[in-house]
Amino acid sequence: MKMTKIYEGNYQWIMYGRDPNKPDKIIDTNQYVVRTANRCLLIDPGGVELFAPMLAAVLHHAPVDEITDLFASHQDPDIISSLGLWDQALPHAKLHAAGLWEGFLRHFGCDSIQYVPIQDNGGVINLGSVELQIIPAHYLHSSANFNIYDPQAKILFSGDIGAALESPDAPVFVDNFDAHIEKMRYFHQRWMPSNQAKRAWVERVRSLDIDILAPQHGRMFKGNDVKRFLDWFESLQVGIAV
């Protein structure tokens, strides 16, 4: 599993992805970790198949008992089907996820971990020295769906928004936005159902100061590519299957 530090201050953001050993037929995912002095948040920790490589990778940065928080942007299997295993590994951790999905996510197994339901209007994840904002991104694509914004690191974790289907050895940052568009188009048109939701999200996110837009699949956007992405997404027609 490749590890890339994307923010280094009093705490760190680390991106994990491009797992060379992942089974062929499952979609490649990016996992993100926020590591403070004594706590660790796993953002969209991934599917069952990813559990072992992911935990093994995190153990380079944090001991098991300092992995205190998990966040699931939505209910998809590539996001959080590993929950039942984390539940055994981290019995004292918290899972921050949509209240709307609680009864669904518990199917994965969540007996020890504390489920902290996120309300529709979002909230915060407090890691002691760091506070992260939970930004609503409903219907993009999931009906109860959240992003995470870190105003200090200026990183927006955007879940499936900004996702692209890439080869496993692709670089972690977009280096040619125009060339990247075709890898994103169908994903957004087909998985995102609502133009209205898309406009509301773009408007909201434009008001945030963002250095890195970090999606759950494909490459991250930084600098001007963040703005390019917002412009491109704003003008894209989504919900094309009907």
Partner 1 sequence: MHVSQHKSQFVAVASIAAELSAVMEVAKEISLAAANAKAIAFRAGEKAKGFQPITDFINELAKETIELVNNINEHALKLYRLTVIEYRMSEACRRFESVAVRSANATYATTLKQSLDNARQRRNDCQRQFARHVSELLAQLADVMHPARAARVIAANSRIEASQAGEYLQSLQAVAESVDNAAQIIHDKVHKCRSALSVINTDE
C-alpha distances (whole Å) from 1 to each of 45, 50, 195, 217 are: 13, 10, 35, 14
- State the residue for tokens 């994103």: 184
Q: How far is the CB of 172 from Fe ion (least distance, A)?
A: 16
Tokens of 200: 């509301």
C-alpha distances (whole Å) from 34 to each of 19, 131, 143 are: 19, 11, 25
Name which position in 85, 97, 140, 230 contacts partner 1 (CB under 8 A): 85
Stretch 44-73 residues interacting with partner 1 (CB under 8 A):
48, 51-53, 55-57, 59-65
The whole-angstrom separation of Cα 174 and Cα 183 is 11
Q: Interface with partner 1 includes 190 (CB under 8 A)?
A: no
Q: How far is the CB of 52 from partner 1 (least distance, A)?
A: 4
Using the contact rule CB under 5 A, the part of the chain among 18-26, 120-128, 143-151, 214-222 near Fe ion is 214-222
The helix (run of H) or strand (run of E) holding residue 104 is helix 102-105
Q: How far is the CB of 85 from partner 1 (least distance, A)?
A: 5
Show the site string, 4-43: x = touches partner 1 by CB under 8 A, - = not: ----------------------------------------
The whole-angstrom separation of Cα 218 and Cα 146 is 18
SS3 185: helix
Tokens of 21: 């050993």
76 binds, among partner 1, Fe ion, none (CB under 5 to 8 A by kind): Fe ion
Name which position in 19, 49, 76, 225 contacts Fe ion (CB under 5 A): 76
**Can the peptide bond before residue 74 be classed as cis, meaning omega within 30 degrees of 0?**
no
122 binds, among Fe ion, partner 1, none (CB under 5 to 8 A by kind): none
Q: Interface with Fe ion includes 28 (CB under 5 A)?
A: no
The whole-angstrom separation of Cα 145 and Cα 191 is 13
Binding site for partner 1 (CB under 8 A): 48, 51-53, 55-57, 59-65, 84-85, 88-91, 109
**Residues that bind Fe ion in the complex, under the rule CB under 5 A:** 76, 78, 160, 216
